[in-house]
Amino acid sequence: MSQEVTEFIEKVKEPWQASLCHELRQVVHNAIPDVQERIQYNKPHFLKNKKYAAVISIAKDAVSFTIFNATGLELPEGLFDGPPERKTIKFRNGEQIDAGMLNDWVKQASQTL
């Protein structure tokens, strides 16, 4: 894990957002064991074979999680936004993530990277 990403998450002001970032980061590492991570555009980016696999974005009232290479994924209607090649889900305070489902989607999307 990148110290740069660890420091980024530690600086997140809202405790619920920092906790969610830790969970999402772990999802990516579970799904892509050899993932590389870096801060780019002031956001944690996760790469496989030098191609984007996922990104975490923090907004005032939400944490967004984007899965790249998502064209072939079968995702629940209305849960994700974005074009077919990258899908984003937003989490707000108090919402729980389904780590198992996210893990499956990230793993599936990253298989062809």
Asked if 49 and 112 count as a contact pair (C-beta separation under 8 A), the reply is: no
Check residue 95 and give its pLDDT: 93
Element (H, E) at 48: strand 43-48
The total of other beta-carbon atoms located within 10 Å of residue 56's CB is: 23
How does DSSP classify residue 103?
H
pLDDT value for 12 = 96
Predicted local distance difference test score (pLDDT) of residue 67? 98
Closest to 40 in 3D by CA, of 56, 22, 24: 56
pLDDT tens digit at each of 113 positions of the chain: 899 999 999 999 999 999 999 999 999 999 999 999 999 999 999 999 999 999 999 999 999 999 999 999 999 999 999 999 999 999 999 999 999 999 999 999 999 99
pLDDT of residue 79: 93
CB-based contact 45:38 (threshold 8 Å): yes
pLDDT of residue 18: 97
Residue 1 has a pLDDT of: 87
